[in-house]
């Protein structure tokens, strides 16, 4: 099966699927563009179509409302868009980080092209880092991504990555008039890198608030009953009463030999909504996930959230690992992780 990842470059450990060109740290952006497959431009041409005149002759007719976007290097088509569509060039994504890497201590860690050039991104470490009890370290990043096929606005996103398992989690910005930690620039608007940076200028406070919440979650002990109800709420979008939680956990463990031990062959019953996923995350929570035995995660609300993020980033079913990456950052996996954050924070509110 063909990979979604067209080309990518990285520093440090090989990410996700083992693909890509490894770079030494502090390479110039021109090297990143070449090695990440981002050294081309999006070009455009007005749409035309073929028709026949009254003599039966083929004639080319213009359709001025639409344009075809295509790659400058291969001339491969990327999408058909309206005349109002404002494309963002691959090099603009990299150049967004120029002053951040040269003056503010940021470091690019990965960049690449998805879906043949229809989507591309860069991820840079901000230098922010914090540890929960048990030396459970998370680092701060900024992800910038865009698409020219209508699937994604140009999006700047604060992200934390848990070192022990390489899980990614969007950082929510509180009290920012509905800002959820994401700055999105629709393609009907010109991308202004400096304006986006100004909107992201609250990064220090955002990081501190995020790690404060994670610390609260790491101090909140949970029972197996609460864990089952939490996963049900995340995957099935439910909020159960205590009586319903009792019934839920009875049903969840009805085929299990012990109340803290899942029998995957039984718990995966197809009649249970998202049963396989819930069985997997419960198993990871109960000691089989990366870092699950650290004191910050063991039997805590933070451990519940880590199980969700690990599942979406590394274990969730997908056509390929690359499709899972696309989902975990931009699609259904990202939505599941966001519900995981919301449900976990309810436990400490």
pLDDT of residue 274: 82
**Cβ(328)–Cβ(313) below 8 Å:** yes
Please give the pLDDT value at position 185: 93
pLDDT digits (tens, 9 = 90+) for 73-92: 999 999 999 999 999 999 99
Give the model's pLDDT for residue 56.
87
- The string of DSSP codes covering 121-156 is EEEEEEEEEEEETTTEEEEEEEEEEEESSSS--EEE
pLDDT of residue 45: 95
Report pLDDT for 268. Answer: 42
Specify which residues 156 forms β-bridges with.
144, 183
User: Which pLDDT score is estimated for 245?
Assistant: 42
Q: Which of 250, 267, 260, 266 is nearest to 285 (CA)?
A: 260
Domain ranges of the chain: 5-39+88-216, 220-346
Query: In this predicted structure, what is the pLDDT of residue 272?
Result: 53
Ramachandran sector of residue 299 (left: φ over 0; alpha: ψ -120 to 50; beta: rest): left
Q: What CA–CA distance (Å, rounded) separates 58 from 197?
A: 51
Q: What pLDDT does 202 receive?
A: 52
pLDDT tens-digit profile of 189-235? 999 998 988 887 655 567 888 889 999 999 999 999 999 999 999 99
- Residues lower than pLDDT 50 in the chain: 1-3, 17, 173-179, 240-271
pLDDT given for residue 82 in this prediction: 94
Read off the tokens for 283.
């198993």
């Amino acid at each position: 099966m063909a990979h979604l990842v067209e080309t990518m470059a990285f520093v440090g450990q090989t990410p996700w699927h083992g693909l890509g060109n490894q770079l030494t740290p502090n390479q110039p952006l021109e090297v990143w563009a070449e090695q990440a497959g981002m050294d081309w431009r999006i070009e455009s041409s007005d749409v035309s179509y073929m028709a026949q005149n009254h003599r039966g002759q083929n004639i080319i007719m213009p359709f001025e409302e639409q344009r075809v976007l295509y790659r400058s290097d291969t001339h491969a088509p990327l999408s058909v868009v309206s005349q109002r569509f404002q494309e963002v060039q691959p090099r603009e994504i990299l150049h967004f980080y120029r002053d951040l890497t040269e003056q503010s201590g940021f470091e690019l860690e990965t960049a690449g092209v998805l879906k043949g050039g229809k989507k591309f991104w860069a991820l840079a470490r901000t230098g922010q880092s914090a540890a929960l009890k048990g030396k459970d370290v998370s680092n701060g990043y900024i992800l910038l991504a865009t698409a020219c096929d209508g699937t994604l606005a140009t999006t700047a996103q604060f992200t934390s990555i848990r070192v022990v398992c390489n899980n990614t989690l969007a950082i929510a910005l509180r009290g920012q008039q509905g800002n959820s930690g994401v700055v999105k620039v629709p393609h009907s608007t010109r991308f202004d890198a400096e304006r986006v940076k100004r909107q992201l200028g609250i990064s220090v406070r955002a990081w501190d608030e995020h790690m404060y919440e994670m610390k609260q979650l790491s101090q909140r002990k949970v029972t197996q009953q609460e864990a089952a109800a939490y996963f049900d709420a995340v995957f099935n979008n439910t909020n159960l009463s205590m009586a319903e939680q009792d019934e839920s956990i009875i049903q969840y463990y009805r085929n299990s030999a012990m109340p803290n031990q899942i029998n995957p062959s039984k718990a995966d019953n197809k009649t249970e909504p998202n049963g396989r996923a819930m069985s997997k995350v419960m198993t990871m929570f109960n000691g089989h996930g990366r870092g699950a035995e650290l004191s910050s995660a063991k039997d805590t609300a933070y451990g519940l959230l880590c199980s969700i993020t690990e599942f979406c980033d590394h274990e969730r079913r997908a056509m390929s690992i690359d499709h899972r990456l696309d989902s975990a950052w931009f699609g259904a996996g990202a939505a599941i992780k966001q519900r995981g954050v919301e449900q976990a924070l309810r436990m400490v509110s």
